[in-house]
Amino acid sequence: MPPANWLLESPETDPALYPLILERCSSCTNLQLAFCLSAEVLYSHYYYITPDSISLTRHYRWLIDFMFHGGYLAADSDVLEIGSNRGAFLKELSPHVGSTLGVDPAENVVGVARRSGVETLCDYFDLSVAKRIAARSKPPSVFFARHCMAHNEFPQRMLEGVSHLLPDDGILVIENNYAAHMVRDSEFDQVYHEHMFYYSVTSLSELLRRSGLRIIDVVLTDLHGGSIVVFAVTADSRRSTAQTVPRLIDEERGTLSPSRIADFSSQASVIRDGLQSTIRKLSEAGNSLAAYGATAKGATLLNFCSLTARDITACADSTYIKQGRFIPGAGIPIIAEGTLFEAPPDYLLLTAWNYKDELIAKVRSAGARDVKFIIPIPSVEIVE
Ligand code: TMP
């Protein structure tokens, strides 16, 4: 597979291909890639900029509220977010807390964060960055690592930095796609080179334990097709552990068993066959087709299903740096949403199916009333 976010300058460019193999660790049940591309190769120029999204903003507000009610955040909390991207979450949080600081390795994205007033260090958060932060200001007591740990081949280095700074009354919040829901809902398109780890409560507990941290609570959310929000503290913290933690670990013995992983693999082929035949039939009947959301997931889905610009003429995306480029392998041009709304196709494949309701509402409110939607995951479905 080509690295999903290596958006090409021309459709002809042959993308570099690398093995994309998902393995299951038999000791901690973690799902992980057998082959990881180096961070330099993956992130030298990063195309993922957190979109403006009603569902994301709603989620940020829920999380902030939950943490205030749970006593994890206070008006004087100093907060650090690892993998803060353009600072969308910190912008929502900053009016409610003492201070915020973002850390992110992607230069172009950090530039966007700084220009919008979110203080951000451009780096990979690890022990040396943690020491630098401790030397220059009052260390933070609340840490967030939202949807970034899976992208890090050496998560223990990041956790070493957190452990160095985290006080016993502090909290680390990790948000990640939930492996058990990915498997349950046949979300094989979550597998791409940037996602090196597919965490469960079992595997995260083990990883955190090795860094002197322990999970005290887990909340399941619908975000990005099913995510876990994990609350962790130092091993010495006096906070008690919610029943959800052992319950989910117990459930994962079944939900992430080898036989479930084998079903997940065969479901991927069922979806591929279903999507290919649906698209073939619609094209033969003279329908026009486009996609919505030039996501990394989309690159896996399209390439796995051998769908190209011959099948899908364009893919709309709100991220301006993606527009004018091409999805690697599939060679599909990425266009602005406005261009899509000006000449809507008969069918839209929702490659960003994780924003399904939001995207359908956006298309409808742009006046494209007749467009029908193809939802690929968890099973191929057409929404009229
Ligand atoms: P993600 O699923 O990895 O967050 O990526 C979502 C992609 O979908 C991202 O490239 C932005 C795009 N998008 C739109 O084009 N319009 C929208 O309204 C939203 C919410 C996302």
Which pLDDT score, from 0 to 100, does residue 45 have?
67
Which pLDDT score, from 0 to 100, does residue 46 have?
78
Nearest atom in ligand 1 to the alpha carbon of residue 293 is 8
Supply the residue whose CA is at minimum distance from atom 8 of ligand 1: 293
Which pLDDT score, from 0 to 100, does residue 318 have?
96
Supply the residue whose CA is at minimum distance from atom 21 of ligand 1: 51
Which pLDDT score, from 0 to 100, does residue 372 have?
98
Which pLDDT score, from 0 to 100, does residue 39 have?
85
Which pLDDT score, from 0 to 100, does residue 138 have?
86
- The residues lining ligand 1, judged by C-beta closer than 6 Å to any ligand atom, are 51, 53, 293-296, 317-319, 337, 352, 354-355, 358-359, 362
Which pLDDT score, from 0 to 100, does residue 186 have?
98
Nearest atom in ligand 1 to the alpha carbon of residue 296 is 3
Nearest to 295 by CA among 190, 153, 187, 186: 190
Which pLDDT score, from 0 to 100, does residue 13 have?
76
Which pLDDT score, from 0 to 100, does residue 11 have?
87
Supply the residue whose CA is at minimum distance from atom 12 of ligand 1: 293
Which pLDDT score, from 0 to 100, does residue 14 have?
80
Using one digit for the tens of pLDDT, what is the confidence trace for 98-116?
999 999 998 889 999 999 9
Q: What is the pTM of this model?
A: 0.94
Q: Which residues of the chain have pLDDT under 50?
A: none
Which pLDDT score, from 0 to 100, does residue 187 have?
98
